[in-house]
Structure 1
Amino acid sequence: MARLNSSLLLFLSVNLLHLFHTAVSRGGQRDYSGFVDNSFAVSGRHLFEENRFQKLNNLAHGYMTNSDLEKAIKAFHGRCGRISRIYSIGKSVLGVPLWAMEISNKPGKEEAKPAFKFIGNVHGDEPVGRELLLLLANWLCDNYMKDPLATLIVDNVHLHLLPSMNPDGFSLRSRGNANNVDLNRDFPDQFFQMNDDLGERQPETKAIMNWIKKIRFTASASLHGGALVANYPWDGTQDKSKNYYACPDDEAFRYMAKLYSGSHYNMSQSREFKAGITNGAYWYPIYGGMQDWNYIYGGCFELTLEISDNKWPPANELHTIWQYNKRSMLDLVASLVKSGVHGRVFSSDCGEPLPASIAIKGINYTIKAGERFADYHRLLAPGHQYEVTAMMPGYKTRTTTIKMGEEATQLDFILEPTSSLLPRRPCKRSSMEILEVISKPHFQVALTLMLVLAFLCFLMKRKVISNHFRGRKAIGQRRVTAV
């Protein structure tokens, strides 16, 4: 009898844990402190994992395998090579390439445009993002120069898609990677000394961190499953309490989250989350998350998007989920050019681009303009007045007040040197910058006029010289013949 009761207790606890795992996408089997709960029996865990793997393996029918995904990415590039490129940002624990796609009218070229990234399949058992990002890529390919929103995105944004951050976890039907590590707890944390040793990070985590160093992303979003809500920073609190904990750009993040939720088929109608959005720490705090790390260390505004109540819905529901999320995904990317303040920073003495810092009064968060083009892209909530400041060592600080409406604001800065004695960036242009200037229409018109004038001057000078020699020749002949 005792044995029967023990078996019954084990069965109930395993199933309760399974229900909790399904309901809470970001946390899985853990308490609100953010630490994994491994308290249940090892034998029960193995039984649970075997049953769960079999169940998920059955649900995987109709989803792309890792091999299928790679073929789909290459097939997309094969027919849309004019506006795309594919590349790998690294490899998983088991050596699977982490394939990414860039979609732009000038893929691979560095420009003064904002960049956005979508990341899917952070957790191996949340595969919907894999499918949706391929559908997004192909929709943009099919509708470029046909649909205004598709054309706006391709022409004005460098969009990067990483369908699977965790291909090993997908194959294993597990939340973590091949080392059983939750990748959304593997990033350095702002509140606690954890994950600070970069050499100890998982290869998938390192790949994301190196990716951020190479490409200056303005904003991004990761796609998860298990709920229906747009989640924004902060994800944790200083005391591990479950409370609303706002980051410096709380209003901008709320605007982004509402933009996604409001464009979604039914996310904004959520009964659990007001307007279909939530502050991460208010929902439940986590630590070592990718979202907060992007904002703090990458200068990138990232949302965590829970796009399906069911973590692993049947494959025949994927098209419907895509239709529910399509407009939201497109609107979020387009917001990079349809809202916020954008511009470039130049030196007054020689017009050189300056990688200045851009600050907003009252918001304790500074971004930096790009090194090459000195372009900046600052997301701000509309409907407010902002004091925007550009500052650079060796130059006078410049501040301008703007009123942010529903449309984007273009604001360039020209900074004056503080003193000729202080070291400043040299006034020189690279060959690429010179080519950029030459390629501008007004410069080409001016150059053409200069060439025409130069040619006319050459003809006039040639005529004068010719007449001069003719006169000399006539005089010489006269001299020679005159006796």
Structure 2
Amino acid sequence: MAHLNSSLVLFLFLLLHLFHTAIARGGESHSGFVDNSYAAASRRHLSEENHFKKLDNLAHGYMTNSDLEKAMKAFHGRCSRISRIYSIGKSVFGVPLWAMEISNRPGKEEAKPAFKFIGNVHGDEPVGRELLLLLANWLCDHYMKDPLATLIVDNVHLHILPSMNPDGFSLRRRGNANNIDLNRDFPDQFFKINNDLTERQPETKAIMNWIKSIRFTASASLHGGALVANYPWDGTQDKSKSYYACPDDETFRYMAKLYSESHYNMSQSQEFKAGITNGALWYPIYGGMQDWNYIYGGCFELTLEISDNKWPPANELHTIWQYNKKSMLHLVASLVKSGVHGRVFSSDCGEPLPASIAIKGMNYTIKASETLADYHRLLAPEHQYEVIASMPGYKTRSTTINMGEDPMTVDFILEPINSYLPHQLCNRSSINILEVVAKPHFQAALILMLVLTFLFFLMKRKAISNHFRGRKQRRVSAV
């Protein structure tokens, strides 16, 4: 009997050991680390549990996902004249990814630049969620009262996504519900990771579709764990930790400094000179959202680390907001307070042209919009640039500008290469008219109008004939 009891105890011990090992392997499936030691697995399990409890306690005073949705809808109810609320998709758990637009004409296509803020990319970095709601409410409260708020609302389409990773926030962890780091899930310029569309996370797909639907000029994502403004490139071709400049390095340095110098103490950093850093020099990452925005979206994005503590106590949020408020506002306002802006037209018919805009010496091009042909190109001040507009079927034009602290407007009028041939873009109106004429109800109305016109002509002709006949008779009788 004693032998049987000891065997049973041994069996239960082995079963418990296997159970803990299975938990450890599942929990670390995306890190590539598996510890087969029972003691280590137990310690890690307790550590994770304690970490979750700690974050759960810190979450008191932060908005839940439900609270966040209610706060956004309450904001729109209070500020409906200058805002709209919409969803760009859903998370793994089916939570809507709610976004809001702030503008004096929300939802309307205009020849204005667009900016986006994204918060909570990492689930355990929730400060951005809170700050973006504070930003939205500040703009609502100060519109038509504060010059900076009025400038932004009247001249920029500002889009705000407070939480890109609501599932990660609920789970109190960095990754999403599938435990994937969303800031490593975008296509990469150097390596073929994430090229399989079916493998990308729904949150990543939502951001990529968002970029395709709205032409953003610039953007920023809000993170925690450091105090620095990070700019491209985020990685290097040889995976080395070294400064790797993108074509618009000067412009990105200008944007990053604008944020850090407007911040309460970011520019005073002892770790990062002037409070800014090139991503690859800090630590290289691949599949990041920042570089993807610049390469594929024509959007100048910064990664902003806005608090040393990833999840500070809620009573510190007001102070963090005060430290970042001016920086956030100035970064958005820079879209209209600097850079070169304009529109592109055809010389032969005045049609807007969705031309490409390039800067000589920079291997980077943006496109004017398809319908309004407006472009907005951020540039570092105190430099001379040659701006080039090109469009297939048209002669390329360029002009040299001296960029100061103020924005510049440069419109282009492009001439067709074969001016004697009718250009397709100039025939849009004709094509539209032909489409209308081809409709049966329009053809019937046209026939009726022609018949009535013919009858009117006959009646008019008869009246004129009678008039002259009467005059001739009177003339004869007068003789």
TM-score (normalizing by structure 1): 0.82
Q: Which amino acid aligns with 2:140?
A: C
- Select between 259-268 and 418-427 the one with higher mean Cα deviation: 418-427
2:257 is aligned to 258
Q: Which amino acid aligns with 1:209?
A: M
Does 1:321 find its partner at 2:316?
Answer: no
Do the aligned residues in 1 keep the contact of 2:117 with 2:159 (CA within 8 Å)? yes
1:312 is aligned to 311
Q: Secondary structure at the match of 2:312?
A: coil
Does 1:218 find its partner at 2:217?
Answer: yes
Deviation string 1:107-158 (CA, Å, 9 cap, x unpaired) is 0001111000000000000000000000000000011111000000001100
Q: Secondary structure at the match of 1:427?
A: helix
Cα distance change on mapping 1:143 and 1:197 into 2, 3 Å: same
- Select between 42-51 and 364-373 the one with higher mean Cα deviation: 42-51
Question: 1:282: how far off?
Answer: 0.3
Cα distance in 2 for residues equivalent to 1:305 and 1:124 = 16
1:21 is aligned to none
Q: Which amino acid aligns with 1:176?
A: G
1:283 is aligned to 282
Q: Which amino acid aligns with 1:139?
A: W
Cα distance in 1 for residues equivalent to 2:187 and 2:298 = 15
Cα distance in 2 for residues equivalent to 1:288 and 1:62 = 33
C-alpha RMSD of the superposition: 2.5
Cα distance in 2 for residues equivalent to 1:383 and 1:479 = 87
Do the aligned residues in 2 keep the contact of 1:396 with 1:416 (CA within 8 Å)? yes
Q: Which amino acid aligns with 2:134?
A: L
Cα distance in 2 for residues equivalent to 1:162 and 1:472 = 79
Q: Secondary structure at the match of 1:414?
A: strand
1:437 is aligned to none
TM-score (normalizing by structure 2): 0.83
Cα distance in 2 for residues equivalent to 1:231 and 1:290 = 12
2:33 is aligned to 38
Cα distance change on mapping 1:210 and 1:362 into 2, 3 Å: same
Cα distance in 2 for residues equivalent to 1:394 and 1:235 = 37
1:26 is aligned to none
Cα distance change on mapping 1:381 and 1:187 into 2, 3 Å: same
Cα distance change on mapping 1:480 and 1:76 into 2, 3 Å: farther
- Select between 276-285 and 44-53 the one with higher mean Cα deviation: 44-53
1:62 is aligned to 61
2:398 is aligned to 399
Do the aligned residues in 1 keep the contact of 2:186 with 2:288 (CA within 8 Å)? yes
Cα distance in 2 for residues equivalent to 1:206 and 1:247 = 25
Question: 1:479: how far off?
Answer: 8.2
Q: Which amino acid aligns with 2:193?
A: M
Do the aligned residues in 2 keep the contact of 1:264 with 1:328 (CA within 8 Å)? yes
Q: Which amino acid aligns with 1:128?
A: V
Does 1:295 find its partner at 2:290?
Answer: no
1:383 is aligned to 382
Bigger Rg, structure 1 or 2: 2
Deviation string 1:6-54 (CA, Å, 9 cap, x unpaired) is xxxxxxxxxxxxxxxxxxxxxxx9xxxxx94635554443222211110
Do the aligned residues in 2 keep the contact of 1:119 with 1:162 (CA within 8 Å)? yes
Question: 1:430: how far off?
Answer: 6.5
Q: Which amino acid aligns with 2:200?
A: R
Does 1:362 find its partner at 2:357?
Answer: no
Q: Number of aligned residue pairs: give it.
A: 415
Do the aligned residues in 2 keep the contact of 1:352 with 1:428 (CA within 8 Å)? no
Q: Secondary structure at the match of 2:402?
A: strand
In structure 1, the gaps of 5 or more residues are 1-28, 30-34, 434-467
Cα distance in 1 for residues equivalent to 2:471 and 2:420 = 63
Q: Secondary structure at the match of 1:346?
A: strand
Do the aligned residues in 2 keep the contact of 1:394 with 1:422 (CA within 8 Å)? no
Cα distance in 2 for residues equivalent to 1:424 and 1:36 = 57
In structure 2, the gaps of 5 or more residues are 1-27, 433-463
